[in-house]
Copies of this chain bind each other. A is one copy, B any other.
Amino acid sequence: MHPMSIAPNLRARVRAEMITEIKSAARRHLASDGANLSLRAVARELGMVSSALYRYFPSRDDLLTALILDAYNAVGEAAEAADAAQPRDDLPGRFLAICHAVRDWAHGHPHEYALLYGSPVPGYRAPQDTVGPATRPSRALAAILHDGARSGVLGRSADPDLPERVRADLAHLTVSEFPGMPAGLLARGMTAWIQLFGVLSFELFGHLHNVVADRDAFFDHQMRAMAAHVGVVPPA
């Protein structure tokens, strides 16, 4: 028996906890500093010296990357969990559950939302491994359409007037990711996807100030309109 397999190394456990604490201190600092996060401020909050952080993250950008990864996974998990809580064949229920879950997460973590969906951080280049987690919310939405297309509920009238350049473009996505899904359906799904994040960005970045007072009702209505737009409608 390897000693490690008997009792997990204490040092490793403490290290993992430390990483968690550093990241949550950093998340708290996103609020005040935005994306130009200060390592020294994070270290100060944890009562340690700034150079100590280099035991855990090789540079400031790596800490940022970790925050971005965590945030993508958090919003993705929220979407997936909301989806999973609905009956598989209740497409409108699943659709709206995902939209509201994403919104709830965004409202609960506005600075992380801004980190993911706001202005790109100047001088920061996201590494390749953020790509997968970044697609989780859109995959959850697309899966609904895919399910609907497979069961024949959706996409029967695949837009005949979808321009050829758009159709060809989206066809690459459907064949590799969602086989059998009509391009027209995907196009409408993307409208909904963009609308979801469009409303959230407008809400969180202040563009609905003095425009919409009841944001909850507005959001719900917009997302229901999008559900209708993609053809996901409740049984009449």
Contact = CB atoms under 8 A, between A and B. Distances in A.
Interface of A: 31-36, 114-115, 117-123, 126, 131, 134, 162-163, 165-166, 168-170, 172-173, 187-188, 190-191, 194-195, 197-199, 201-202, 205-207, 210-214, 217-218, 220-222, 225, 229
B221 A35 contact: no
A119 B122 contact: no
Contact of A191 (B187, B220, B225): B225
A120 B32 contact: no
- Residue from A36, A115, A119, A188 whose CB has the most chain B CB atoms within 10 Å: A119
Contacts of A221: 162-163, 166, 187
Nearest to A126: B206
Contacts of A222: 190-191, 194
B114 A120 contact: yes
Secondary structure type dominating chain A contacts: helix
A217 B114 contact: no
Nearest to A216: B165
A232 to B, nearest CB: 16
B119 A218 contact: no
A119 B205 contact: yes
A178 B197 CA distance: 27
A103 to B, nearest CB: 14
A192 B115 CA distance: 25
A217 B166 contact: yes
A163 B229 CA distance: 17
Given A197-B202, A222-B194, A165 B119 contact: no
A188 B229 CA distance: 12
B34 A169 contact: no
Given A33-B122, A123-B32, A221-B166, A191 B195 contact: yes
A165 B222 CA distance: 13
Nearest to A172: B213
The 4 closest A-B pairs by CB, nearest first: A198-B198, A118-B119, A165-B217, A34-B122
Contacts of A117: 201, 205, 207
A198 B202 CA distance: 9
A202 B201 CA distance: 11
A228 to B, nearest CB: 10
